Structures are given as structure tokens and as C-alpha cells.
Amino acid sequence: MRHFLKSRKCRMISSVMYPVLFGVIIFVLWETQILHSIMNTSTDVLPVPSKIASVIGENITKLMGNLWITTVPTLIGLAVGSALGYAVAVIASIFTKWGGGGITLVSCFNAVPIVALAPIFNNLCKHVSTDIGTRGMAAKALVVMMLCMASMSINAFRGLTELPPFSTDMMKSYASSKRVTFVKLRLPNSVPYIFTALRVSVPISVISALVSEYFIDTREGSATFCPGLGRMIRDTILKCQYSAAWSYIAIACLLGITLFVVLMIFESVMLKNRQKQ
């Protein structure tokens, strides 16, 4: 028995068991409404999980429509922003002396709150299209793009310039050209940094897409118009439809978690050979 308790298998099981147990306890407290008496709220504001699940089941088409509206610009912004950020980092790493200053400026942009960025881009996109849906998507994608670009360029610049000691000297002694040094040394060195950046920017892109929706002018929208998950969370709460709001929250959380899990799987595949070395 003692041997079993110290074994690796037992440790693995316990590291899964403890959090699951904690989750189950919270779930039971929530479902039996003990959580409500602790937090001093009613089931109107905080519906039990089974109620939320049934609301999700009823409104599934509307939820999926809004999920689509939020997910598409998030992913576009994430992809375009990260690619642009990497390009900026590459240019900055070629001209290190001047590029470093540019990266400092970009990192200052990173400190600008999303709340201030979102209305700027909503105003900018007012003349992009006559269709309100396209306009909202463009504004969201731009906000997400800005934030992803910032975090990617900062991290990738570090990956491209902070090389292992003496590695540049070695490349010089091989008389390798700048291009070869870039392809064989800098590029591979930056790969883990790309994932560091993505780990930050994936949750931020979801958050900024949700927040950006708060500032969309929906007055022109028709009755069936889908403004996106974040806007729906806000609107349903203003109308005091709390169970509907919780269903949108659940979907938004699922979106964040799914994107992060996909990133983790991708990362473990990409960096597999690296960890073995």
C-alpha cells in the first residue's frame, strides 16, 4: 500500500482527482443552491447549471449564430496580427539598432486599454461598409489584430535576437551569410517565443473581441441581427434575462478554453523534438 502511494501512477491519478473533486463540490453546491446562500444571491441572477444547460439547448441556433460572429473576426485578427507582428519583429531584428526602439514603442501600445482602442476602431470602420455586420466584424478583427501584433512582435523580437551564447560567433566562423544565419539560427530559435506570444494573445483576442462588441452601434441592425457573444451578454443582462446571459457566458468561456486547448495541442506537437534534445 505504501509502495503504491509513492508510485508515479498514484501521483498522476491524484493530480487529476483533486481538481476534479473540487469542481464536483462546487458544482453540487451550485446545483443545490447552497452557493446562492453563501454568495447572498437568488436563482434569478445565478441560475443552477441544469437550467443554463436547458436554455442553451433551447436557443442553440441563435447561440451558434452569435458564436460564429465572434469567432470569425477573432481568428482572422489573431492570424493576421500574429503574422504581421512576426514580420515586424523580423524587420526589427535585421536593423537591430533602430528596430529595438520600434519594439519599445509597440510595447507602449500594448499598455493602451482595450476599452480605449475598441471605440477608435469602431469609428474608423464606420465608412468601410454599408452592412452593419461587416462593419462590426472589421472593427473587431482590427482591434484583435493590433493586440496580437504587439505581443507577437515583442516576443518574436526577443526570440530572434536573444540567441544562445557564442552561436553568432560560430556562424561567423563558418563564414555563413546573414541569410543562412537567419534561416538556420534565428528562425528556429524564435519558435518557442512564438508560442509564448500566442499563449498571451489567444485569451486576449477572445477578450478584446467580446469587449469590442460593447461599442458597436446596433441601432441599424434588424431583429434577426447577431451582434456577437459579448454584446449579447451585455444586452440580455440589461433586459434582466439572466439565464440567457449565462448561456452566452458559458459559450464564451467554452470558446476561450477551446482555442487555448487547440493551441496547447499544436504547441506540444511543434515543440516535441525540441524537448527530447
Partner 1 sequence: MRKKHKFPPKWLVTSVWIIGFLLLWEFGAFLVENNPKIQNPEYILPHMWQIFASFFDTNLTTATQTPFQVVLEACGATLSRAGIGFLIGLSAGFILALLMNLSHIVEKVAFPYLMLIQVIPILGLAPIILALTGDIGISRMVIAAILTFYPVSANTLAGFKSVSTEQKQLMFNYAAKIPVTYWKLMFPTCIPYFFTGLKTAAPMAITASILVDTLQGDGGLGCALSQSLKHNTTIYVFWEIVIAAAAVGIFSFYLMGMIENMVSPLQRINRKLKRGDKG
- Burial of 173 per CB tally in 10 Å (0-12, 13-18, 19+): exposed
**Smallest distance from the beta carbon of 212 to partner 1, in angstroms?**
10
What are the residues whose beta carbons fall under 8 Å from the beta carbon of 100, sequence distance 6 or more?
92, 157
Of 210, 216, 226, 244, the residue at the interface with partner 1 (CB under 8 A) is 210
Q: Using CB under 8 A as the criterion, what x/- string covers residues 257-276 for binding partner 1?
A: x--x----------------
- The three cell numbers locating residue 204: 486576449
Query: Does 38 help bind partner 1 (rule: CB under 8 A)?
Result: no
Cα–Cα nearest to 119, from 218, 215, 206: 215
Q: Using CB under 8 A as the criterion, what x/- string covers residues 41-80 for binding partner 1?
A: x---xx----------------------------------
Q: Using CB under 8 A as the criterion, what x/- string covers residues 152-191 for binding partner 1?
A: ----------------------------------------
Q: How many CB atoms lie within 10 A of CB 63?
A: 21
Half-sphere exposure of 156 (CA within 13 A, CB side): 27
**Site residues, partner 1 (CB under 8 A):** 14-15, 18-19, 21-22, 39, 41, 45-46, 97-98, 100-102, 104-105, 108-109, 111-116, 119-120, 123-124, 126-127, 203, 206-207, 210-211, 214-215, 229-230, 233-234, 237-238, 242, 245-246, 249, 252-253, 256-257, 260
